[in-house]
Structure 1
């Protein structure tokens, strides 16, 4: 994934990634530090999988391979937002509509990538560009401790925590995410 990204990207670029995309973005900044000018990581992790997470993603793979993607997404979406928002029809339909455009094989590839992820933990110090880590305080997918560790290990990282927000920060709190991105990028370009 990262190799394709670097092949297709311009010579110098900023990158923002959510969840698995945040891990891919980290790898891009590690592998090509001279090319990545700004890095934004949202609700992500370093690719380390404990046994519980590994079993969780193996179950995802099983569900997808057995044509239960719709069921899986329904459960994952409900768990990815604040419990009070899981009943919000507009929010949930926004998630489902976006995911409906993504092919089944894409979900399977994503799950396999997570299961085969190479941890970035010991390489984060190689990230040279300004980095913003955005985290929803109630993210059930990844922990605050992971975000704090990434912040500590990436030399120029800042951590922004969005209150009343789960894993899908850009969907749950789009105004807060947009304001953070705008403020941070404007500050970087001064």
Structure 2
């Protein structure tokens, strides 16, 4: 039926277990307005190949509520972001069940890789989606949300809350407001 949202596939426990350690391709191109950097792929994301792919993840609603998209995209439509000057990568490429399974060394190495990626692709902004990953990976233990004074590979840096359904401190509305603040900053120059 035309106009119907794509569905989320059923992923078995065995398929989820097999996704551990996998990586998924970036949604990236040179000169993006914003390159969103998730912490790392979850198992459902790795199984589907869709960034922020788990049905309970609030990235896609927050992106829409923040004014980056004119409608809520389904994770399977992730490549449509490129037409909007947006992209997605991860700080750590390895899929895990929970982000707290990552080691500080992995986050530090991932931050170095993200910096190199930003140098290569020259986005105007890198938005790290997860303050704890940013604090550890970039050795900024007191960093908060919002614009950071440091650049990442020449790009301005913004830290957003983690949109995982496990992050109960933020509602879809407050996440949308955080994303809207970033959008306004990108439009201001």
Q: Return the TM-score normalized by structure 2.
A: 0.34
Structure ranking higher in helix proportion: 1
Which structure has more relative contact order (CA 8 Å, sep 6+)? It is 2
Q: Return the TM-score normalized by structure 1.
A: 0.34
Greater Rg over alpha carbons, structure: 1
